[in-house]
Structure 1
């Protein structure tokens, strides 16, 4: 079992990331106020909520010799003590919210503008995180427990 240690959102593409202590999460809109969470007409919401492991961010920073804040990765959730399942369809519960892993969150070329080599440092073994869709809505907060939902 892990813990939610970071929540971030951005209101529009390339907007600064806003750190939060808690946020509502909906099936229709993902994290409240995050532009990427809204399911477009005919869409499947594969990228509603993104998450990564603190240990992976720390490893990337160690490789590059940087101490860049995790939210610069532009993912929504930072998890500690939890190994994100690399199996699409797996459900993860954070507090009362359930998210379904959909795909790996591949690091984009924008990572290179943050630090040379960052895209490559986030590429192996899903180190850049995972994308998910909301299956059970609710409110999440820093300190919430994170676990795989057993089927």
Structure 2
């Protein structure tokens, strides 16, 4: 997990301050490698594993859920020469709007009744070159989203709030 600055430090205070909660806009599951994503309005998250019906459902958990910023989709489309890009093309589980995902790296956060912990950036893979065309990999660099582990399982739903949880030493 990423190391955060001390909660009482100036940088720690800045990193803990988010303007508002976010929202789940889209949910997708990928049952196997190289098959189309299945769009759904909800998914079951299993503690320490992944999403039921997703290829990472029984994995180690560091990549139990992948998230991408909704606000980045039009930028990725423009940089790859498309009018729009479907979330399914980018192969992330959740599309989230209204909260900067980069601020959740190394933190615990709640999505509906599920608690996640941002573990690492979700960098694009070479498949994005095929999915988006030449330059697709580079179009996604820096905007691939976030990988998270499932700390407390439950059901994720489109429309759920996405909220950072206070870290030890931070004000609630």
TM-score w.r.t. length of structure 2:
0.79
1:45-56 alignment runs, 5 A limit: 45-56=61-72
Count of equivalent residues: 145
Work out which of the residue numbers 150, 156, 170 in structure 2 matches 1:140. Answer: 156
Q: Mark the structure with the bigger radius of gyration.
A: 2
**Greater share of strand residues, 1 or 2?**
1
Paired with 1:68 and 1:58, the residues of 2 have a C-alpha distance of 7
CA RMSD across the alignment: 1.4
Give 1:85 shift. Answer: 3.0
The yes-or-no answer on 1:4 pairing with 2:17 is: no
Contact kept? 1:37, 1:47, Cα under 8 Å: no
Give 1:131 shift. Answer: 0.6
Contact kept? 1:86, 1:104, Cα under 8 Å: no
Q: What are the Cα deviations for residues 12-62 of structure 1, in whole angstroms up to 9, with x where unaligned?
A: 1112100000111111431111011312xxx4x211110000111221112
Query: Structure 1: any 5+ residue segments left out of the alignment?
Result: none
The yes-or-no answer on 1:34 pairing with 2:23 is: no
Query: Structure 2: any 5+ residue segments left out of the alignment?
Result: 1-20, 168-172
Moved over 4 A (4+): none
Contact kept? 1:29, 1:48, Cα under 8 Å: yes
Contact kept? 1:2, 1:81, Cα under 8 Å: yes
TM-score w.r.t. length of structure 1:
0.90
